[in-house]
Structure 1
């Protein structure tokens, strides 16, 4: 594809980056990214992916905009309270960048639909807020050979990693289960609606997720695969922890037991 005059102007600051240039911008415009959740993480992620020119963006969310969302979910507006989050996010994306095709999936992600939903996308970004969805997406992406960029938030902290254990050529990369082998016991890790979240922290992590998605599309820099980034807003610090594939992992280990999502 060739960039239009308007696209040359819109993406000018990308085009002068040697690592991106015309070819990289064309890759972005041809890319298909699925964002799971149009909430605290999904909102900034969607805005920056759209602004960057990621050509097709899928959004999965079965929720509606609530007034309490607006403290951090910056893609939604006060007048859209009560609207479906997928519709609200799509409207903002259209205003930001009309180049973008938005595919709305106003449904809950389940074991029955996850494989079909992720199938047509190049990179999957997890902005969900519960462990069941995180494990489900991890398993599905591994089995489908998809790259997964995952983030999480709580109170004043956030974390981020990339998982591509099922991607050809990356069989030694760890999956989410290598990092967190078991779902935390009920009640031990509160959700954001129980413990709270500083709104700007969602912006930090969601924007970093968008950066990692773009890096994966363009094969730029060092992937976050095998590394967990931890952000503490109160100390203003980032640190990165390395982790390896667990040979005993039931999904990506030497003798995998998980052959299908459930």
Structure 2
């Protein structure tokens, strides 16, 4: 009987421990970003389901009520973005604007807000740490540690003055460090990956080619050179 009682007591303790662990895990997961995150996957698509994923995954920090997007910074301050859908419907090109939260970079704690205008679009970076903002004409692609990003602007009709840009997001500050003016012959870029913090693997195509390579090799590399950056079309040894 004593042995049976000891076994029963052990089973009860195991059950209690399992329940307690489950509660702790559930409490620890509250307000955290899932390990597999759609919102953290930077991409050139601005589909509605991307913001929906951000709102779901970052629900303790971001929300949307109708046309109003609200983001709570680390300090507790609130940043808001107000759409003007009525202006867009009335073909009011001056005031037509639509904001969508398209990504969040957790290492550097930076939000990317896509801004669509009557013609063209841009991206505003927002630091959750400092509240600093930076306007870009292309979607940013961050280094793994979040210290740098490259932005590509393939919209030569309504885009900005630069088709490539390198920026910094170190220490909660946001700034552009280098920009490249489009060539005389329009071209389009495709981001491949950061090799390291000083080298970016890209592909380059003639404009309006559907990003199809007309030659055997369309690889290009953006390489840090002193205080600036340079594009090297020939393959590098990595």
Which structure carries more helix by proportion?
Answer: 1
Query: Bigger radius of gyration, 1 or 2?
Result: 2
Q: TM-score, normalised by structure 1?
A: 0.27
Which structure carries more strand by proportion?
Answer: 2
Q: TM-score, normalised by structure 2?
A: 0.29
